[in-house]
Amino acid sequence: MDTFFDAIARERIEYRIFAEDHGYEALIRKQDVDCVRNVVRSLDFQFENYEFSSDKGYVYRYGMHEPISVAGDNQYSFFCEIPCHSLTPYNIIPLEKRIQDYAWCDPQDIAGYMYSNIITMYLYRITNCVFRKKEFDDNDQIFFQNNRQVLSNSLLKELLSQVFYSYTDQLMKYIDNREYQSIVSSYIKWKDY
């Protein structure tokens, strides 16, 4: 991560990196979208169609904005809201407002770059595994094992319940017991909302 985050920081654009699976996924404020686009142009980086773009049939619902996807010294996707794939195919929605607001709290400065707090990164990874990928791959499992202490945080449980409702306790139990392969099918079959 060199030039791009440095350039947007110089423009006083607030951001929070919340994932690094396929390049960098970062949250920005809606009012900064044009500024980010200007930085992209000034660096001669290229705009790209996002992997789940409306051009490919995806629909952004409930106020979710399609991200800015950029190729340059790395791959970057900038979101105005933290996304969640719906169980309805080709639908992308924002996570609950309380989660969106919390994503801006307690940022982590890692090597001079601003990351979301660990609870937001943890929560996003869980929702991404369940709703988009429909699996917990090796990298996900390592992330959860390396951040195991987050499971005992009551705020994580509170925020997860905004997405998973009564399934939250079962979900946390599966993660705690490293039974990742059981999560997606168990969630799909869950009926006790």
- What confidence tens digit (pLDDT) does each residue in 102-125 have? 999 999 999 899 999 999 999 999
Residues 16 and 109 in one domain: yes
Residues 186 and 130 in one domain: yes
- Are 96 and 163 contacting, i.e. CB atoms less than 8 angstroms apart? yes
Residues 173 and 84 in one domain: no
Answer yes or no: is pLDDT of 138 > 90.
Answer: yes
Q: Residue 34 belongs to what domain range?
A: 1-116
Residues 4 and 70 in one domain: yes
Predicted confidence (pLDDT) per residue in 65-104, tens digit: 999 999 988 899 999 999 999 999 999 999 999 999 999 9
Residues 99 and 177 in one domain: no
- Rg from Cα positions in the chain: 17
Q: Which of 79, 100, 116 is the last residue of a domain?
A: 116
Residues 50 and 110 in one domain: yes
Q: Counting beta carbons within 10 angstroms of the beta carbon of residue 160, is it exposed (0 to 12), middle (13 to 18) or buried (19 or more)?
A: buried
Q: Over the chain, what is the mean pLDDT?
A: 94
Calculate mean pLDDT across residues 140-147.
96
**What is the reported pLDDT for 192?**
82
**What is the reported pLDDT for 191?**
84
Calculate mean pLDDT across residues 140-144.
96
Cα 168 to its chain centre, rounded Å, is 18
- Are 17 and 116 contacting, i.e. CB atoms less than 8 angstroms apart? yes
